[in-house]
Amino acid sequence: MELFGYCVYQIYFHPLSKYPGPLSSKLTSFRAAYHAWKEDQYLDIWRCHQIYGPVVRYRPDYISFSTVEAYKDIYSGDTTTKPRCYEHLQRQHASILTMRDNKAHTTRRRLLGHGLTSTAVTDMEPRILRHVRNFCHALGAGLDPTQSEKDAWGRPLDMADWCSYLTFDIMVDIVFGVSGDLLVDPSQRSIVEDIGISSKRAFVLLNAELLYVGRMDRRLFPGSVSSRRRFLRFVDKLVARSTALSAEEKSRAIVQRLLAGRDAEANGGIPDSRSLISDATTLTVAGMLDHHSSRKLPLIIHTTPATFFYLSRSPSVYNRLVTEIRQRFSSPDEIKQGESLSSCTYLRACIDETLRITPPVATALFREVLPGGELIDGHVVPAGYHAGTSAYSLHHRADYFHLPNEYIPERWLGLSEMRGGVHNPAAYIPFLRGPRSCLGRSLAYWELLVTVAMVLWEFDMRAVDGAEAGVGGGDSMLGMPGRNNPGEYQLLDRGTCGRVGPVLQFRRRV
């Protein structure tokens, strides 16, 4: 009888009962947790909006919106905060990732800004460029010197793996000031897999808090627990190595800049050293799994292979971009911050289009409404309930973007170069806006531009033939909407997005 009463209340009398959605979503969070486990939650939310419209009750206390107006209302002000479930992700000290209090978050964000000043970013450039050159060297390492340049295609490479190694090396260097060397030393590469495994468990737990009862999550995800422990031990070693650096070397590490910034603060509520080190760890982990915190690194680790995927399958786009890059720069040493790189408008358009069609954080970033309630796109959401918007759902609305499932960089160069149809830049949300927006957006974009430009200046590129030709794309035989498009780079939704492929070959430019 109690179960019957619960169901009647949830369906007919709950404060969110008027909003449409799957019946199971009105009763439990099982559907959301199931699709988190399947790593396709962003597609399930998109499919729900296709069926039920722009407002969907996706969990008993959660509403998903797919409008620009709702996105602005949810994320641009201080009337919402992160859900309580983020507190479960804390290790021992709160980080900017798990912090719910908006004022405390503002203080912590200001401290993080000490590590990303213009001077700090300038100091980072030569180190980042060194890692990008190592990346290019790795791509060319398998080329056969006995063949002519025209025929000397290298071994097939899974770009998701190699871009992960690049990202990790960059982040360990700029955050801790020490070397990661995954690009040159295979012995440590298992740490990337550990991060990916642990991220899946964390995302499922964000959608099913009941799994914490009796620590059922440890029994359901035993491999994830051990992977997380290995990663945290790895981070502790990084912190120890960073602490042992000389004063000059410490000045180049974000974690040390954070500690220096803490010492310089005169306001109250300053976090302790371990909390700031936790933030530095979050910056590093953000590159690999980022559970809705800084989007800087998911941008790099995801968008780089995704861009190569679309270029390898769009000959006209690839040829136009290669021409732009090779005409703009006479040597790879010229590819760095400056006017020449900024003037590569088609390169920027290609990256923007990749971020639109396959955003690095594709699922809905739900926020809890604070006391007083919130008016979201004309809908009153009471305090204590949750609302969010999925970037993938917005980016794939045909009334916002013409031919939303097609890769068309020209849409970002002005309507005169488009194939006609609507283009709404306000619906383009690869980055979180408002008080919790990404601190490192400009730096991340620059890293993307440099990496793609340097690779295409040095190498010709092609997708492999045979069984691995379709790796990274959808499978037309599946029949499941969102997974059946061979021309769309597939995401593994773990809060941020994992990825596989594309498998490509490179040769020295002819």
Between CA 306 and CA 300 the distance in angstroms is 10
Burial of 133 (0-12, 13-18, 19+ CB in 10 A): middle
Q: Is residue 48 part of an annotated ligand binding site?
A: no
Between CA 491 and CA 473 the distance in angstroms is 9
CB neighbour list of residue 284: distance below 8 Å, 6 or more residues apart: 168, 171, 172, 175, 176, 235, 238
Half-sphere exposure of 339 (CA within 13 A, CB side): 0
Residue whose C-alpha is closest to residue 450's, from 172, 64, 166: 166
Concatenating the DSSP letter of every residue in 384-439 gives: T-EEEEBHHHHHT-TTTBSSTTS--GGGGG-GGGS-SS-B-GGG--SS--GGG--T
Between CA 46 and CA 62 the distance in angstroms is 15
Alpha helices in 313-390 (DSSP H): 315-328, 339-342, 345-357
Q: Residue 490: count other Cβ atoms within 10 Å of its Cβ.
A: 24
Answer whether 324's CB lies under 8 Å from 317's CB: no
Secondary structure of 213-232 as H, E, C letters:
HHHHHHHHCHHHHHHHHHHH
* Bind-site residues for heme: 438
